[in-house]
């Protein structure tokens, strides 16, 4: 289901969610499009004034409550992630933990949105800088870290006083739905957080980027899609924050322990089956220690 203006909504159509390990259909979610995207923006825009006018301590309190509920439901969230995304349960539990930590961090950061006082050239002047929330933020999250990337985007938006519309990856909508249940139960005001599921991400993204009420985009995904979104955001001069496909060289010099380095390389290279922006995509080892490094790396990979 979608979550818009504090309510759970259906669509005329749905799409299936499958367990990638077994191919089993584990659920079906509402399949939205441009109409649902516009409705979510309208809700976020309508709620922005009220949320932006809350105190930092009020926003902090809401984020703390979200963190508490996420911690209480950690095992349920991890089970959902493993079934839907496919990562081992141990890894899912770890992601839920540090995903919750993002909410805890921004609960504190909400109280630290400091301004500045700047020396003026005249005695009768005073220059003051005040930080103001930018407005409605659109967030697009990936499938590889479906909960931590969600909290990493929603946490700072709420802390700053922004409202948000979010589209999760079509492979992992159940994780997002479980998180929005937490936001609802934690008392996040209606319209402040909004969720639109879709099997056609281009239609939702295009609708949000064409809408002047959306003032900022945050996206984690491929460089190819990031370039397209940047082009679509340009006509309305949206602020854009993106985390795109990584370039991650793993460099080992001869003053390092090649065995220890090889163990580290094998760990991060195959982290989340390699679907992580910090996974090395090329390895450089100084010639004098290359043999020991390669032997250790080959041995560890052979055991996988």
As a whole number, mean pLDDT of residues 2-6 equals: 98
What is the rounded CA–CA span in Å between residue 24 and residue 83? 10
Looking at the structure, tell me whether residues 130 and 265 fall in a common domain. no
The three-class DSSP label of residue 299 is helix
Q: Which of 98-102, 108-112, 152-156, 276-280 has the weakest average pLDDT?
A: 276-280
Contact 179, 173 (CB under 8 A): no
Residues 174 and 258 in one domain: no
**Residue among 296, 282, 218, 209 nearest 250 (CA):** 282
How do 25-30 and 14-18 pair as beta strands? antiparallel
Concerning whether 108 is annotated as a catalytic residue, the answer is no
- Residues 18, 86 within the same domain: yes
Residue among 68, 170, 181, 243 flagged as catalytic: 243
User: 234 with 291, same domain?
Assistant: no
Q: What is the mean pLDDT of residues 218-229?
A: 96
Residues 224 and 263 in one domain: no
Q: Is 213 exposed, middle or buried (0-12, 13-18, 19+ CB in 10 A)?
A: middle
Mean pLDDT of 180-196: 98
Q: How far, rounded to the nearest angstrom, does the alpha carbon of residue 172 sit from its chain's CA centroid?
A: 12
pLDDT digits (tens, 9 = 90+) for 243-274: 998 788 999 999 999 999 999 999 888 877 77
Q: Say yes or no: 275 and 167 in one domain.
A: no
CA angle 123, 126, 131 (to 5 degrees): 170
Residues 6+ apart with CB under 8 A from 217: 137, 138, 139, 140, 208, 209, 229, 233, 238, 239, 240, 241, 242
Catalytic residue among 38, 84, 277, 299: 277
Residues 39 and 116 in one domain: yes
State the Cα–Cα distance between residues 197 and 177, nearest whole angstrom.
9
| Domains: count for the chain | 2
Return the closest-CA partner of residue 203 out of 12, 33, 2, 15. Answer: 33
Q: What is the pLDDT of residues 277-295, one digit of tens each?
A: 778 889 999 999 999 999 9
Residues in contact with 90: Cβ distance below 8 Å, sequence separation at least 6, in sequence order: none
CATH number at residue 153: 3.40.605.10
Does one domain contain both 207 and 272?
Answer: no
pLDDT, tens only, 122-139: 999 999 999 999 999 999
**Cross-strand partners of 2:** 9
Does 65 lie in the same domain as 98? yes
Q: By three-state DSSP, how is residue 200 classified? A: coil
Question: How far does CA 300 lie from the centroid of its chain?
Answer: 32
Q: What is the model's pTM?
A: 0.90
**Of 228, 243, 258, the domain-final residue:** 243
Same domain assignment for residues 235 and 254: no
Q: How far apart are CA 110 and CA 131, in angstroms?
A: 12
What whole-number distance in Å separates Cα of residue 269 and Cα of residue 130?
43
Give the model confidence (pLDDT) of 198-214 as tens digits.
999 999 999 999 999 99
Name the residue range of residue 149's domain: 2-243
Respond yes or no: is residue 277 known to be catalytic. Answer: yes
Which tens digit of pLDDT belongs to each residue from 104-118? Answer: 999 999 999 999 999
CA distances from 262 to 272, 283, 297, 301, 304 (A): 18, 10, 5, 10, 14
Domain final residue pick, 194, 211, 243: 243
∠ CA 165-240-87, rounded to 5°: 65
- pLDDT for 185 equals 98
């Amino acid at each position: 289901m979608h979550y818009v203006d504090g309510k759970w909504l259906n669509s005329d159509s749905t799409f299936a969610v499958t367990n990638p390990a077994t191919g089993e259909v584990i659920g079906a979610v509402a399949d939205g499009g441009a109409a649902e995207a516009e409705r979510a923006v309208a809700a976020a825009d309508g709620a922005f004034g009220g949320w932006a006018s809350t105190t930092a301590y009020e926003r902090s309190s809401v984020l703390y409550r979200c963190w508490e509920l996420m911690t209480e439901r950690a095992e349920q969230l991890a089970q959902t992630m493993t079934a839907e995304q496919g990562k081992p349960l141990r890894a899912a539990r770890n992601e839920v933990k540090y995903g919750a930590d993002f909410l805890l961090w921004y609960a504190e950061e909400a109280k630290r949105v400091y301004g500045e006082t700047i020396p003026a050239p005249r005695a009768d002047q005073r220059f003051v800088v005040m930080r103001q929330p930018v407005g409605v933020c659109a967030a697009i999250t990936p499938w590889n870290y479906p909960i931590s990337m969600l909290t990493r985007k929603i946490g700072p938006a709420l802390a700053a006083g922004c409202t948000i519309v979010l589209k999760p990856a079509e492979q992992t909508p159940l994780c997002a739905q479980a998180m929005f249940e937490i936001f609802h139960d934690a008392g996040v005001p209606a319209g402040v957080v909004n969720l639109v599921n879709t099997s056609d991400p281009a239609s939702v993204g295009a609708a949000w980027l064409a809408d002047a009420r959306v003032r900022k985009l945050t996206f984690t995904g491929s460089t190819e899609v990031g370039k397209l979104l940047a082009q679509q955001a340009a006509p309305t001069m949206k602020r854009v924050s993106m985390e795109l496909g990584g370039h991650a060289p793993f460099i080992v010099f001869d003053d390092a322990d090649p065995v220890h380095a090889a163990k580290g390389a094998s760990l991060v290279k195959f982290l989340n089956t390699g679907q992580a922006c910090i996974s090395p995509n090329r390895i450089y080892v100084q010639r004098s220690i290359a043999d020991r490094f390669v032997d250790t790396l080959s041995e560890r990979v052979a055991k996988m």
